[in-house]
């Protein structure tokens, strides 16, 4: 229900949860997501990962069990966004991947889209093709530095969440990641076409000039 304040503005009354309604606060979701991420480790190692978060802000977690990661080099993202501003790139990735979680390693930079654990095998052919662009799909046998869930701002000292994980087990859709990579590769190819055409024209002109020199020499 609405009520009118002293200045005449409409205000909303606080809504009390109905009996039996389960309310999840952001703190609850964060705690549940932390537990889910840490469960990639066997129980004896989870305390170590928590200590890494506390001391370094990043914990090494094994891939290929609950989730895998697609590594996308920064130049592919920059090709689509035409910017190097971290905030603009983060907003673009959130929209392009429908809010799926992405970790940014500023050294590079490199972006890691967190995807279902099965992607390295179910998308094997695409993954093989992507390697020519320095894209890789990391699964079993690989560890990734996962930042603390509150590390959501760009920083130079370590990785952060370019797109935060909205809730436990919420991952990027493989098709969305594939489309992003395909669009980046296409954009780079289009950008390279004028340069390729110029080089071809220069080679043709050089060839003509060499031929003309050869003709002049033959008439001497």
User: By C-alpha distance, which of 17, 130, 26, 13 is closest to 70?
Assistant: 130
Residue 152 pLDDT: 95
Residue 10 pLDDT: 39
Give 101-154 pLDDT, tens digit per residue. Answer: 999 999 889 999 999 999 999 999 999 999 999 999 999 999 999 999 999 999
Q: What is the mean pLDDT of the chain?
A: 83
Say yes or no to pLDDT of 1 above 60: no
Q: What's the pLDDT band for 194 if we cut at 50, 70, 90?
A: low
Say yes or no to pLDDT of 13 above 70: no
Could you tell me the pTM of the whole model? 0.78
């Amino acid at each position: 229900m609405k009520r009118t304040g002293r200045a005449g503005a409409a205000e909303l009354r606080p809504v009390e949860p109905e009996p039996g309604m389960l309310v999840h606060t952001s703190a609850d979701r964060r705690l549940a997501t932390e537990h889910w991420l840490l469960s990639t480790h066997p129980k004896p190692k989870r305390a170590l990962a928590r200590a890494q978060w506390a001391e370094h802000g990043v914990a090494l977690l094994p891939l290929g069990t609950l989730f895998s990661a697609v590594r996308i080099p920064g130049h592919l993202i920059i090709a689509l966004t035409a910017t190097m501003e971290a905030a603009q790139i983060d907003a673009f990735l959130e929209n392009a991947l429908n809010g799926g979680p992405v970790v940014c390693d500023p050294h590079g930079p490199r972006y890691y889209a967190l995807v279902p654990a099965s992607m390295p095998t179910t998308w094997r052919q695409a993954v093989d093709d992507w390697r020519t662009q320095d894209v890789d799909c990391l699964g079993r046998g690989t560890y990734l530095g996962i930042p603390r869930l509150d590390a959501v701002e760009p920083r130079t000292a370590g990785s952060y969440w370019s797109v935060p994980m909205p809730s436990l087990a919420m991952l990027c859709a493989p098709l969305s990641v594939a489309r992003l990579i395909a669009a980046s590769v296409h954009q780079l190819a289009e950008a390279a076409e004028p340069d390729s055409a110029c080089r071809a024209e220069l080679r043709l002109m050089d060839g003509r000039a060499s031929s003309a020199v050869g003709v002049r020499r033959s008439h001497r």
